[in-house]
C-alpha cells in the first residue's frame, strides 16, 4: 500500500476502494498509464480521450476532463519523472452483474516512481521472449485498456529473469498480438506493420502516437495480421507503451538485431 | 458500501481494499458465492475446495480452511437465509503485472441478504433470453470463478426487464456455455447434458453437486458440446448456481416448458 498522499480517489487523498467496488469484484473499469516529465503529463489530451472512449465502450460514464486535471495538479510536482496511473471503475454496486441504476464511478489517480531501466533498454535493445499463454479472442473487449488483465498476469508470470524485458503474446491462431505490457511494430518492406487489435489485445497510447507521427518520417503504417515469422524476418522490431515510448528489440529467441535507425528516429519524434 | 460489520478483510471488520490490490487493478483473484441457511453454509467443504483449486490454477496461495471457518463464525448468525461471498485476491503489488516475490493475499468475506425471488422462479420456471455477446475462449481461465468478469457484466447489461430471469451465453462458435450467472443442464434422450467448460465459462458449485448426485435418480450426466437447437429440443432445461440451486426453465424465445419432473427431483435432492 503506497502512502495515501500519492493516491486520490474521486479527488480526495485516500488509498482504499470499497471492497464492493465493481472494479475489485469484476474488473469493471478502465485505466491509463501516463508518463509525467517535469510536471507535464505526456500525450495528456490523447490519454484522456482514449480513457473516455474505452469507458464508453463499457457503458461507464466518464467524469469531465477537468476532474482528471484537478487530480493531476494535486498529485504532480514540478520536477523529474513519474508514472501517473488513472483508473475509472463503475463504482460500488449491489450483488450481481447488473450495474446499479445510478452509477457513481470511482476515479483513482495514483503517482508512482518512474521505472529506472527504461532508457538503458531503449539504448541497448530489449530482449523478448515468446509467451506460452495464447490470448483469447473477444471483440467486445479488444483494444480496451480494461481491468480484466488475468491473461497479462499469467503471461507475465511465465518468466522472472530480469534480463528478459518483455514477453510476446500470440493469439490461439498463432497471430502475434503484442507484448504483455506493450504494443508491437515491425519494419518490413519499407513500411511499419502493427497487429490488428479488433479480436484481442490492448490499443496503447504510444501505438496511437506512432501511427500519428510515422508519416513525418515518410513511413506508412498498416494494421494487419502478423505471424511470428514476419517478426523474425523484420528489419526492425519495436515495442511501444506510454512509459518506454519505443523499445527497439535486440533479441527474440535466436534472432538478434543491432541497429535500429527507424526505432530511434521514431523515438526522438515521439518525445518532441 | 455495505456496513463494515458485514464484511471482513483478512478476518477483521473492514469495508475497503487498498486501491493497489491486484484484485482491483487486474481482477487478479477468485471468488465463491455460498448460500447460508440457518447459519449453515451449503456445500461448504466443496466450496472451499473449489476456491482452492481455482486459486491454485492462478498461482495464488490459499489460506487454510480454518481462516474461512473463522470468517464464517464471525459473520453468520443462527437464523434465516443469507449470501456469503468469499473473495481471495493476490493482494497488493507494485506497479506492473508481475506479482511481488512474497504475495500477501487479501481474504474478503461479505454477508448479503438472500435474493427474494429465487423460490418463486423455481416454482414457476425461469424466463431465459439469448445474449448477443459471445464468450471468448481462454482455456487457461476456463472453469475458474475468477474476478475478470467483464463478459458477464456486458452480457447482463443487455436486458433490464425484471421478468427476464437469466441470459443464455453462447461462444463465438455458437455453442451454448451457460447462463450469465449460472450453469446449464438439459434433459434429453434420458440423460443430463451440460456444456463442457474447458474453453470458457465458469464451473459453478451447484453444477458440480448436480453431477455428483444425479446418479441417485438413475441419471447419467455428460459434459459435451451443446447447440441452441439441442436446448430448444430438450425435454427439460435447468439453470444452476449456489443460490438458486436449480431453476427449471419455463421459456426460451418461443419455446415453453411447463413440467419439470427431473428439475424438481434434482432440486429436492440438492437441498437434502
Number of Cβ within 10 Å of residue B129's Cβ equals 17
- Asked if the Cβ–Cβ distance from A14 to B9 is below 8 Å, we say no
For residue B14, give the chain A residue with the closest CA: A19
pTM: 0.97
A118 — contact with chain B (CB < 8 Å)?
Answer: no
CA A155 to chain centroid, in Å, comes to 15
Number of Cβ within 10 Å of residue A255's Cβ equals 14
Please give, rounded to a whole number of angstroms, the shortest distance from the CA of B9 to a CA of chain A.
9
Side-chain half-sphere of A200: how many Cα atoms within 13 Å? Answer: 25
pLDDT at B1 over 80: no
Q: Looking at chain A, which residues constitute the CATH 3.20.10.10 domain(s)? A: 119-271
- Asked if the Cβ–Cβ distance from B20 to A1 is below 8 Å, we say yes
Q: Cα separation of B270 and B35, whole Å?
A: 12
Q: Which of B44, B89, B92, B91 is nearest to B68 (CA)?
A: B44
B196 — contact with chain A (CB < 8 Å)?
Answer: no
Per-residue pLDDT at A3: 40
CATH number for the domain running over B119-271? 3.20.10.10
Residue carrying C-alpha cell 474476478: B147
B8 — contact with chain A (CB < 8 Å)?
Answer: no
Q: Looking at chain B, which residues constitute the CATH 3.30.470.10 domain(s)? A: 4-114
* Domain B4-114 architecture: 2-Layer Sandwich (3.30)
B206 — contact with chain A (CB < 8 Å)?
Answer: no
Q: The C-alpha cell of B222 is what?
A: 455428460
Please give, rounded to a whole number of angstroms, the shortest distance from the CA of B238 to a CA of chain A.
20
Q: What is the ipTM of this complex?
A: 0.96
For A114-165, write each residue's pLDDT tens digit. 999 999 999 999 999 999 999 999 999 999 999 999 999 999 999 999 999 9
Q: How confident is the model at residue B3 (pLDDT cuts 50, 70, 90)?
A: very low
Which residues on chain A are in Cβ contact (under 8 Å) with B89?
24
Per-residue pLDDT at B234: 98
Amino acid at each position: 500500500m503506497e502512502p495515501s498522499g500519492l493516491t486520490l480517489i474521486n479527488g480526495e487523498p485516500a488509498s482504499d476502494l470499497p471492497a464492493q467496488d465493481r472494479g475489485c469484484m469484476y474488473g469493471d473499469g478502465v485505466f491509463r498509464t501516463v508518463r509525467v516529465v517535469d510536471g507535464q503529463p505526456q500525450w495528456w489530451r490523447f490519454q484522456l480521450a482514449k480513457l473516455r472512449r474505452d469507458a464508453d465502450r463499457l457503458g461507464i460514464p466518464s467524469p469531465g476532463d477537468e476532474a482528471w486535471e484537478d487530480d493531476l495538479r494535486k498529485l504532480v510536482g514540478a520536477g523529474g519523472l513519474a508514472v501517473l496511473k488513472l483508473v475509472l471503475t463503475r463504482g460500488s454496486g449491489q450483488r450481481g452483474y447488473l450495474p446499479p441504476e445510478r452509477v457513481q464511478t470511482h476515479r483513482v489517480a495514483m503517482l508512482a516512481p518512474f521505472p529506472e531501466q527504461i532508457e538503458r533498454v531503449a539504448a541497448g535493445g530489449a530482449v523478448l521472449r515468446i509467451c506460452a499463454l495464447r490470448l483469447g479472442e473477444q471483440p467486445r473487449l479488444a483494444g480496451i485498456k480494461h481491468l480484466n488483465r488475468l491473461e497479462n498476469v499469467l503471461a507475465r508470470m511465465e518468466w522472472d529473469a530480469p534480463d528478459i524485458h518483455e514477453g510476446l503474446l500470440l493469439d490461439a491462431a498463432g497471430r502475434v498480438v503484442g507484448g504483455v505490457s506493450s504494443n508491437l511494430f515491425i519494419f518490413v518492406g519499407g513500411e511499419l506493420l502493427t497487429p490488428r487489435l479488433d479480436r484481442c489485445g490492448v490499443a496503447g497510447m504510444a501505438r496511437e502516437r506512432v501511427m500519428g507521427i510515422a508519416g513525418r518520417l515518410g513511413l506508412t503504417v498498416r494494421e494487419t495480421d502478423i505471424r511470428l515469422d514476419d517478426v523474425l524476418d523484420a528489419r526492425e522490431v519495436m515495442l511501444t507503451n506510454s512509459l518506454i515510448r519505443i523499445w527497439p528489440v535486440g533479441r527474440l529467441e535466436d534472432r538478434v538485431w543491432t541497429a535500429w535507425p527507424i526505432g530511434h528516429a521514431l523515438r526522438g519524434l515521439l518525445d518532441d
